[in-house]
Amino acid sequence: MDHDYYFYEPARGHGLPHDPFNAIIGPRPIGWISSRAADGVLNLAPYSFFNAFNYVPPIIGFSSQGRKDTLRNIEATGEFVWNLATRPLAEAMNLSCAPAPPEIDEFALAGLTPAQSSVIGTPRVAESPVAFECRATQIIPLQSASGAATGNWLVLGEVVGVHIARHLLKEGIYDTAGARPILRGGGPADYFEITPEQLFRMRRPDYPPDR
């Protein structure tokens, strides 16, 4: 099939009413990250430049566009928690993105409860059904192809503790859609919710294909 393509070089501008980048790489899972400042003030914020990068040991990461409280806290303590953002928690997640000063605890701002973690000192969100306790592994300054600093940072962490609400384990199998995770689309306000109807299954092919 032949397509008529719109083409642009991002360094020269996209020439469209909205930058399509986020809408194309989407929907993205949300890194809802709790962290703790050196002085103990709690912090919570969503990061949709987020994903999993390694299986064994499990490593997840997110990118901070600029130097934000979450990044500073993780630099100071070496740890963070990822909390699953679900449809019932969407509005609280959104409240937690407020550009509040470092002394403001976004758990309180969003009406959420900090629950003590098991192996690290940073609390998780008690209302979230899944949380990963993480120890930072690498904090990498992102650079352009020409080697110029972007001022943005990739934070990676090893998952050292996993909390799963028992109702999401169906005969031991994690029920992704049952948690009703939300994901970020493009534009100023687009989100998607994962529901069971969207599931389809496809197994990896054998090689050579069995004809």
DSSP one-letter string for 44-85: EEEESSEEEEETTTTEEEEEESSS-HHHHHHHHHSEEEEE--
Rule CB under 6 A: say whether 32 interacts with ligand FMN: no
The smaller minimum CB distance to ligand FMN, of residues 65 and 176, is found at 65
83 lines the binding site for ligand FMN (CB under 6 A): no
Q: Is 115 in the site for ligand FMN (CB under 6 A)?
A: no
**Residue 172 interacts with ligand FMN (CB under 6 A): yes or no:** no
Q: Are 195 and 181 in contact (CB under 8 A)?
A: no
Confirm or reject binding of residue 180 to ligand FMN (CB under 6 A): no
**Contact yes or no for 60/133 (Cβ under 8 A):** no
How far is residue 55's CA from residue 134's CA, in Å, rounded to a whole number? 14
Q: Where are the beta strands (DSSP E) in 4-148?
A: 28-29, 31-36, 42-47, 50-54, 59-64, 79-83, 114-115, 124-125, 130-143
In the complex, least distance from residue 17 CB atom to ligand FMN, rounded to whole angstroms = 21
CB 174, min distance to ligand FMN, A: 23
Candidates 29, 34, 48, 82; binder of ligand FMN (CB under 6 A) is: 48
Using the minimum distance from each CB to ligand FMN, give the nearer residue, 73 or 117. Answer: 73
Can you give the binding site for ligand FMN, defined by CB under 6 A? 30, 43, 45-49, 62-65, 68-70, 94, 97, 99, 184
